[in-house]
Amino acid sequence: MQGETLARRVLSRLLDKYESSEAFRKGKPTQTRIQLKLTDSIVAGYVTGRLDPDDREALHESLRTMAERRLIALKWVKFEQGNILERVYLKWERIGAAYEYLSRVPQREKLAEFTTEMEEWLKRLLNAGLPERWYFLSNWVDDILSFVRQRGRIPSSLIPEEDHSRTLLLRALVGLVRKRDTSVPVRLFSKQQLGNSKIFEKQVQSSVVRLMRRYWSVVHPLEFEAPDDDATLLRELGIESGHEDITFCGPIRFQYITSEGTATAGEIDAAVFPYGLAVDASDVHRIQITEASISRILTIENKANYRAYVRDSREPGEFVIYLGGFASPAQRAFLRLLRSFLRAPTADERVSNTSGQVSRVLPENSASTSELNRRPRVALYHWGDLDYGGILILQNLRNSCWPEAQPWRMEPRLLDDYIEYAEQIDEPYRAKLRRLLDSDGYLWAHPLVQRILLRGATLEQEALLLGE
C-alpha cells in the first residue's frame, strides 16, 4: 500500500537525520530531538493537498502503528488532530527497534564493518611490504578512520561511501603498489586489476588523482605542489595514459637484458643516430649500459628546443635527453641508470662485464640514498622555461635522481634580453613564486625568481629559438 511505503520513508528519513546528528556522534541523547516537519519535500502533496485522500489516511494509519510501537511520536496541527500532522519525532530509546522495523543495518554496524575493512586492507599491504613512496596510504587510512570516529560517517571526500566504488578503488591501489616501478598502459592495468579495460578511467581514476593531490606533500616533502595535469600524476604512479618513449641523443652503447638475466643479441650504439632515438618507457628496466663516452648531460623541457639543439648545437660528447615536462618515473629511472654507470666505483664494486665497463642499476628511491650522494664523473644541466614550472621541474630532478643538477640557459639576464617575448604574470602566480623565496631548497633559483617578480613576466624556452 502507498501509505505504508510513505510511512516507512518518513521513518527512514528520521534515521538519516539521526545518523548525521550530534546525538549519534556522542552516543547519547541531546536537547535537540530528532524530528521531521511534514512538508511536501518529505511527502509529496501532503501540505498542498495533492496527496490522494486514501493514501493520506493510509499514511496516518501506518504512522499511528509506528507510534503505538513507540518507534516515533506524532504531533498534529492544532485543531486538526488525526487530520494534518505537523511533526514526527524519533524515539531515542527505540532507535534499535526502528532499524529492525525497516530491516535497515544500523549505521554503527556499517561503520564498524568499514573500520575493520580498512584496517585489514592496510594490514595486508604492510605485511606484503609497502614501498616507501606508498607510506602515505597509512596516513590516508588514519585520516579516514579518525574522521569516522569523530564524525560518525564515512568521509566521501577521502573515499567512496558506496561499497562497489570503494572496492574498486582499494583493488586499484593494491595493484599500483604491487606493480612496483614498472609502467603499464592504463587500459592494460585496468584489465589486469579490475577485470575491465575501461573501468579504471571511468570509475576509479578521479579518486586516485584526488588521493595523490591530497597527499602529494607527504610523498614529495621537498616539492610544493602536485603537477597540474592528471596525466602527469598518473605517470608518477606508472600508469601511462598515452604511449611514452625515452628520447635521447648521444654517445652511449647499451643492450637489452631478458627476464632471465641474459643479454639479447647485439649491442646498440646510440651515437650512430645523429639526431637521437627513443626507447619504450616500459623497457627501461631491461637496459644495461655498456659504454658511455659522455662529457656532460643536458635535459631539455620542450620538444622544439630538443630538436633544434640536437640538430644544430650538440657537441660530440654531450648526451641530451628530452623530458617534455616533469621527468616521468621511467625517465628518472633512466637517469639513475646513467648516473650509476658514470659514477666512480668503490673498491668492492670493481666488477666488470665483458666490455670492461662497470654497470650498475640504481633503485627507484629518493635523492637521500647513498647512491645519489656519490657524485658521478659527469655534470647534468637542465634547460627549461624561465617560470615557476621550469624551476619546479629542475628541483624535481635534484630531489629525485640528480642532486647536483644545474640550470642552463635559465639565467635571469635572459628574461631581460628576450623581454619582448615574455608573458605577464598575475598576483596568484606572484604568490607562488614568493613561496620559493622562503625555501632554502630553492636557493639556486632565487635570482631567477627575483627577476621574474621584478619584471612581472616569465619566458618560455622556445622564445630563445626566435633570437637565434
Where in the chain are the domains? Answer: 2-102, 107-239, 243-406
Angle at 220 between CA 217 and CA 226, to 5 degrees: 65
Report the CATH number of the 243-406 domain: 3.40.1360.10
Residue 239 host element (H or E): strand 239-240
Cell numbers representing residue 432 in the block: 607562488
Cell numbers representing residue 213 in the block: 593531490
User: Quick check: helix, strand or coil at residue 88?
Assistant: strand
Instruction: Count other Cβ atoms within 10 Å, centred on residue 136.
Output: 19
When pLDDT is cut at 50, 70 and 90, the band that residue 85 belongs to is: very high
CB 168 within 8 A of CB 194: yes
Task: Report the alpha-carbon distance of residue 340 to residue 254 in Å, rounded.
Answer: 14
Task: Report the alpha-carbon distance of residue 378 to residue 373 in Å, rounded.
Answer: 14
Confidence (pLDDT) at 444? 96
Question: Could you write out the three-class secondary structure of 23-86?
Answer: HHHHCCCCCCCCEEECCCCCCCCCCCCCCCHHHHHHHHHHHHHHHHCCCEEEEECCCCCCCCEE
Average pLDDT, the chain: 89
Q: Is the pLDDT of residue 246 over 90?
A: yes
Choose between 143 and 27: higher pLDDT: 143
| CB-side neighbour CA atoms (13 Å) of 15 | 22
Q: Is the pLDDT of residue 87 over 70?
A: yes
Q: Is the pLDDT of residue 230 over 70?
A: yes
Q: Is the pLDDT of residue 224 over 90?
A: no
The residue type at 453: L
Q: What is the mean pLDDT of residues 122-126?
A: 96
Confidence (pLDDT) at 370? 52
Going by C-alpha positions, the residue among 254, 250, 201, 209 that lies closest to residue 227 is: 209
When pLDDT is cut at 50, 70 and 90, the band that residue 285 belongs to is: confident
CB 104 within 8 A of CB 29: no
Instruction: Count other Cβ atoms within 10 Å, centred on residue 414.
Output: 19
What is each CA distance from 426 to 270, 420, 429, 454, 457, in whole angstroms?
44, 18, 5, 13, 9
Q: What percent of the chain has pLDDT over 90?
A: 69
Q: What is the mean pLDDT of residues 144-173?
A: 95
When pLDDT is cut at 50, 70 and 90, the band that residue 103 belongs to is: very high
Q: Note the maximum CA span of the chain.
A: 102
Going by C-alpha positions, the residue among 359, 370, 435, 433 that lies closest to residue 403 is: 370
Confidence (pLDDT) at 363? 39
Range in 163-177, 363-377, 450-464 the model is least confident about: 363-377
Helices (H), 195-244: 199, 205-214, 216-219, 230-236
Looking at the chain, how many residues does it have?
Answer: 468
131 CB contacts (<8 Å, ≥6 apart)? Answer: 177, 180
Choose between 220 and 119: higher pLDDT: 119
Cα 182–chain centre separation:
17
Cell numbers representing residue 434 in the block: 614568493
Q: Is the pLDDT of residue 245 over 50?
A: yes
Choose between 343 and 327: higher pLDDT: 327
Residue with cell 519525532: 89
